[in-house]
Amino acid sequence: MNISFTDKQTEYIASQVQSGDFQNASEVVRDALRLHQVYRHRVIEELKAEIERGWSGETSKRSITDIIEAKKSSRLQ
């Protein structure tokens, strides 16, 4: 497997190794992937819970247009 990093990412990885927290670049990348996996799992679980809440909640009396307009208005404020 060949992975390319930006200069900024390469500098960050090198700084983590230099700090002594990691022995080498592979450890930094493996740790980042573990954290990404945990984060992604949590986000997906939260989304599933919100979808379930939406399906089991009361039906909205607002139309799609009403919802879109309310969202647009909230962005302007």
pLDDT tens for each residue of 28-46: 999 999 999 999 999 999 9
Q: What is the pLDDT of residues 50-68, one digit of tens each?
A: 999 989 988 888 999 999 9
Q: Report domain extents, the chain.
A: 7-76
**Cβ-based neighbours of 31, under 8 Å, separated by 6 or more:** 22
Tokens of 8: 């900024």
User: Which DSSP letter does residue 1 get?
Assistant: -
Distance CA 68, CA 74 (A): 10
CB count, 10 Å around CB of 13?
A: 19
Q: Are 5 and 13 in contact (CB under 8 A)?
A: yes
